[in-house]
Structure 1
Amino acid sequence: MDLLIIAVLGILAIAAASQLSDRIGVAPALILLAGGTAVGFLPFIPAIELDPQVVLEGVLPPLLFSTAVSISTINFRRELVPVAVLAILLVPLSAAVIGAVLTLLVPGLSLAWAIAMGAILSPTDAVAISIARRLGVSQRIITVLEGEGLLNDATALVVLSSAVSAAASGGVSVGGVLGGFALAVLVALGVGWLVGEASLRVRSHITDPTVDTVVSFTVPFLAAIPAEHMHGSGLVAAVVAGLITGHRGPRMLPPAHRVASRTNWHTVELTLEGLIFLVMGLEFFGIVEKVGASALGVVRAIAVAVIAGALTVVIRALVVTPMLKLLSHRTARWAIHWQENAEAIHQFQNRCSAIVRGEAEMPPVPWDRRPFAQVQRKLRQATNHESIARRARSLSSRVRRRGADLDYFAAEPLGTREGAVIVWAGMRGAITLAAAQTLPITAPHYSFLLLVAMLVAAGSLTIQGLSLPALVRVVRPAMAGPADEEEKAAVILLLVNAARDVASVGTRGASQHTAPTGAAGPGASGAQTTTSTPGLDKVSPTAPDPENNESLSPTTEQHGLVRRQGNDVVVSPAAVAKAWTDPTWRHDDLAPMRERALDIIRAQREALLDAGDEGLYSADSLEHALNRLDFQEIMLTSEPH
């Protein structure tokens, strides 16, 4: 009963912190950390210790999976270079430098144990990125921080394991460390991909959204547990499964399943994030009590934590600064190369289109690059038009994707201002505390090292988290904003063209008929509503084009269900409710209209997903449009009670 009461109070505290954060402008993680620390120091509260395996195996996999599902895979691909630098190169560098300094600050601490401690303090926390996201900085900054937080734990845990082995056995080779890291990542990639694909295929056959959500809760563990048993990184496996699910889910899962799963996962994410920081604060007193009775003392632990925390920021800045300069030079070089070949690229795209139409045999390569030359040779070897056309589409898509990548880098460059935010937002969190608790109890000054890790994580979250808004106001980096009007118009045009293609196929060139999305069921109000697109509320993608003088469906006009009002198609819920009482109308007239509307919505979704794969529009615009399509399809496929 006591445990149940504590759990209920903890959940209520998490909910209260989330609500309070909006009023006082402080992230929920910081509120829970401070509250947990204050409660932990109360005299009638016993010292609390949490098994680190609970965090590493039970809490972090679903949290990282949820973050990976929601991240834009196209943006993640674009930012793979900075993510790799921060997640793979920065962690061992920080571990080595911090370890060398700790040997000077902590008596009796060997270099191997010091490097193990450096590995514990090096990784940033993907959960802590929520603090930066709330400030509204540009999506590029968030993607880099999220990608780093998703992957750097594998590097840190491999370095930690190797350092502990070296301390215990007296020696370890660089080749062994690199081999262990490669094995951990490769196993995680394979298991994560397999679980992600298999789970999507299974979930695509589930008809109940509630059952689908339950199955989705098991996916991160289905990826993490086998990967760990195969000496891989379970956390990276959960991340890979999440990336596969987020990228392939919209094509394979019904919208009702995805909406229900997304809502429930947000609830799980909120609860687990809050639990981590709340427990971190509650554990603080017990660790301080143990160190206070030791020879080194709390004061020395605070001094070591301050120096170690400062080193993490300095080393990070020394890596981020040249990295951003190299990225800037790379982007400039690509842009020049693209401009020099602009005419050839344009001709190449036209030739690919001609191949698809059967009017040409082989496209010229726009520039002498090996991948394109290989495709050209394959096109020569192809024996049928379908194979040639498929390869031409693929190559044309790659060229468009490269152009979209350059537009993306030019629109949101990562300069000095953005670099300052990337450096300061690299906060330590749950992974640091959990990794510290995996140290063997035989490690020298075990409690002291655990307190240092706790102080670095708590200090990083508190100092950097509270001062990050002020830093953003001072340096003024690129901020996330609504899509510009040109992009909105392009998305709307894409939706309208997809709808016209479906309508023209359905009528075999005859006049197109509209399928009012409001006709899925009776309305409760007599007011009239206007159909809308996912991208703009004033144009209906399922409506005919007034400029082409296309007529509305005669059946819908006869029943008074729809009428024209300027350029809009207006639906009368009262008329729909009245017509709904006629079984013949529902079977003979409504069903075909609803199927036509569903065909249009699904074609629009495919067009948006294809555009997303090529990176033609921002992730926010595509997500907004896809969400609107999902809700429209749910409305059309749901049955009234």
Structure 2
Amino acid sequence: MDGTHLFELVIAMFLAIIALHYLAHRLGLPPSVALLAGGAMLAFVPGIPAITVDPELVLVIFLPPLLFDGAWSIAVDRLKRHMFGIASLAVGAVLFTTVVVAVVAHLLMPSLPWAACAALGAIVSPPDAVAARAILEHVRLPRRLQILLEGESLLNDASGLVLFRFAVAATATGAFSTVSAVGTFVVLAAGGAALGGVLGFAWVKLVLRLRDDYLMIAATTLLCWIAYLLGEQLHVSGVIATVTAGLIASWHQHTVMSAGTRMRGTSFWTVLVFLMEAMVFILIGLSLRDIVERGGGFVALIETMTFPALAILVALIAARFVWVFGSDLVVKLANSLGRARSAPMGVGAATVLCWAGVRGVVTLALALSLPDDFPERDFILVISFAVIMGTVLLQGTTLGVVISWAGLGEAEVERAPMTMSQAEAAMAQVQFARVKDLAYDHEGTLIHPQLLARYERRATAIIDYAERTEDYAPMLHAHFDVVLEAVAVGRSELIRLHRVGQIDDETLRELERDLDLEELSAISAKA
């Protein structure tokens, strides 16, 4: 396929993404499910060339920005608070699931070497960051549960990759050392964290010197790929390096970026991540054609692979349930002895945590990266794809139902010491105090009376609202509904004046930008 046809195919995929997202919205389906199914159907449309996925290229293109975006948006304070639980999922659950799947695979196919069974376990064990983001964006969970899932999806790829590489090496050499594997994992993780820290702080210094919105956004975009690629070149964890750099950049972006940079950067990243996440699921679906051809066709695959695929899928889900509920039981026992720092999640939250373990692009990329002479490579490839399809279609479509059953849809189990209204009141008091200092000249003459009165009224109103939120909420919503109506009318008038030639394009854009900011502020205040 030449470059022109490849570009045409990419454009066609983007159009398919828009159509499938719209269809998912109309049908009430998770977009990931529609994209995966749509890609699978597109794979067999006559005239569309077979898509061969380069696993290394897929990981390099898609994984760094999606991991970086997850690290950028995650709540760092809660990440630190729940690091033990996240590590339990990202390392312990991945290792346990690898062992369980390896045992089941060996029972299904005794001729398959144990190391190859472990490779299959390592391929399917880590829930995918892209799939998890796609699912979590459309559900509402308690903050503790949300941070556990987000943190796990950021870090478990590192443990899965290490296990996979050791399993492949053991298959080739026939030797495996647990001590060596643990030591290598520690070195890779520590090295990746150190590299990410250096690059993160280097980004802070660079952004402070750039002083240009577009250069700052470009430097931030490149940081994720630099961290990942440099990590892989230095033989440390590129995943950990990318996540660490993203966490540091996120922590400092409030002080090194202007409001305009953040608004433009957020808009850019939102579109970029949307297209990349969608493209991942389309590519997974398109790869079905190659999987089917390798397996001898649909009929042969269904006859020979249905039972093994279901067995592995059940083992995968069961292993996560055993690990999560077992960990929760340990926390409960520690609580009864007065030695636990956190409360157990309970049956409902633990069930949701188990059911959200969706697999995706990392599983497919690892399976495709197996050497051509690897034992039962096609069997492992088909099982891996079946696991992706099974978890996305089964768990992805029913997660909302499970959340409703667990009664977690609107639950908020964690509260910060200060509410948003109280924080806004504290901010308003400081702002008023500063304006009051600057409202008088050196001789004590009031030179900004209207500005002072405005900030005084604002501080008084916000403090009063913070103390009586429930009483004022309906009036506040009505107030901002009027503001939004006024913005809409103002925008219509601007457009009318522009269309009849009374104002030029520059005036239209400048005044419309002011209206856009006012509209965003009103929408944010209502929320």
Shorter-chain TM range is 0.7 to 0.9
1:199 corresponds to: 203
1:143 corresponds to: 147
Contact 1:204–1:254 (8 Å) recurs in 2: no
Contact 1:291–1:298 (8 Å) recurs in 2: no
Contact 2:367–2:381 (8 Å) recurs in 1: yes
Contact 1:17–1:32 (8 Å) recurs in 2: yes
1:27 to 10, 30, 34: 30
Q: 1 or 2 for the larger relative contact order (CA 8 Å, sep ≥6)?
A: 2
User: RMSD of the TM alignment (CA)?
Assistant: 3.5
Percent identity between matched residues is: 28
1:429-476 CA distance string (max 9 Å, x none): 111111111111111121221111011011100011111122122221
1:473 corresponds to: 404
Contact 1:48–1:283 (8 Å) recurs in 2: yes
Question: Residues 300-339 of structure 1 correspond to what in structure 2 (within 5 A)?
Answer: 300-327=304-331
Distance change in 2, residues 1:509/1:185 (3 Å): farther
The structural deviation recorded for 1:489 is 3.6
| 1:540 aligned counterpart, secondary structure | helix
1:55 to 46, 49, 58: 58
The structural deviation recorded for 1:514 is 6.3
Contact 1:213–1:257 (8 Å) recurs in 2: yes
Deviates more, 1:222-231 or 1:508-517: 508-517
Separation in structure 2 between the aligned mates of residue 512 and residue 310 of structure 1, nearest angstrom: 74
2:71 to 68, 71, 76: 68
Structure with bigger gyration radius: 1
2:354 corresponds to: 423
Distance change in 2, residues 1:97/1:296 (3 Å): farther
Structure 1: runs of 5+ lacking an equivalent: 338-405, 520-529, 534-538, 547-572, 574-626, 633-641
Residue type of the alignment partner of 2:246: G
Residue type of the alignment partner of 2:164: L
Question: Residues 3-22 of structure 1 correspond to what in structure 2 (within 5 A)?
Answer: 3-22=6-25
Distance change in 2, residues 1:216/1:486 (3 Å): closer
Distance change in 2, residues 1:112/1:512 (3 Å): farther
Residue type of the alignment partner of 1:499: Q
The structural deviation recorded for 1:121 is 0.7
2:509 corresponds to: none
Contact 1:200–1:253 (8 Å) recurs in 2: no
2:458 corresponds to: 540
Question: Are positions 1:171 and 2:201 aligned together?
Answer: no
The structural deviation recorded for 1:22 is 2.8
Distance change in 2, residues 1:542/1:465 (3 Å): same
2:257 to 253, 256, 274: 253
The structural deviation recorded for 1:280 is 0.5
Deviates more, 1:201-210 or 1:181-190: 201-210
Contact 1:185–1:236 (8 Å) recurs in 2: yes
Separation in structure 2 between the aligned mates of residue 119 and residue 266 of structure 1, nearest angstrom: 31
The structural deviation recorded for 1:25 is 1.6
Distance change in 2, residues 1:545/1:168 (3 Å): closer
Contact 2:189–2:240 (8 Å) recurs in 1: yes
Contact 1:192–1:240 (8 Å) recurs in 2: yes
1:571-601 CA distance string (max 9 Å, x none): xx9xxxxxxxxxxxxxxxxxxxxxxxxxxxx
Distance change in 2, residues 1:41/1:515 (3 Å): farther
Distance change in 2, residues 1:218/1:205 (3 Å): same
The structural deviation recorded for 1:509 is 13
Separation in structure 1 between the aligned mates of residue 284 and residue 246 of structure 2, nearest angstrom: 26
1:65-119 CA distance string (max 9 Å, x none): 0111011111111221111000011111111121121112125210001001100
1:123 corresponds to: 126
2:468 corresponds to: none
Contact 2:39–2:283 (8 Å) recurs in 1: yes
1:189 to 190, 193, 198: 193
Question: Are positions 1:78 and 2:81 aligned together?
Answer: yes
Distance change in 2, residues 1:492/1:126 (3 Å): same
Separation in structure 2 between the aligned mates of residue 513 and residue 106 of structure 1, nearest angstrom: 85
Contact 1:514–1:543 (8 Å) recurs in 2: no
Residue type of the alignment partner of 1:133: E
2:296 corresponds to: 292
Question: Residues 218-297 of structure 1 correspond to what in structure 2 (within 5 A)?
Answer: 218-292=222-296, 297=301
1:99 corresponds to: 102
Q: Which one has the bigger helix percentage?
A: 2
Distance change in 2, residues 1:445/1:509 (3 Å): farther
Contact 1:113–1:163 (8 Å) recurs in 2: yes
1:202-226 CA distance string (max 9 Å, x none): 1122222122211111001111111
Distance change in 2, residues 1:532/1:473 (3 Å): farther
Contact 1:119–1:156 (8 Å) recurs in 2: yes
Q: How many residues align?
A: 463
Question: Are positions 1:208 and 2:212 aligned together?
Answer: yes
1:487 corresponds to: 419
Contact 2:140–2:409 (8 Å) recurs in 1: no
Distance change in 2, residues 1:294/1:36 (3 Å): closer
| 1:292 aligned counterpart, secondary structure | coil
1:496 corresponds to: 428
Contact 1:103–1:110 (8 Å) recurs in 2: yes
2:469 corresponds to: none
Question: Are positions 1:39 and 2:78 aligned together?
Answer: no
Separation in structure 2 between the aligned mates of residue 272 and residue 438 of structure 1, nearest angstrom: 21
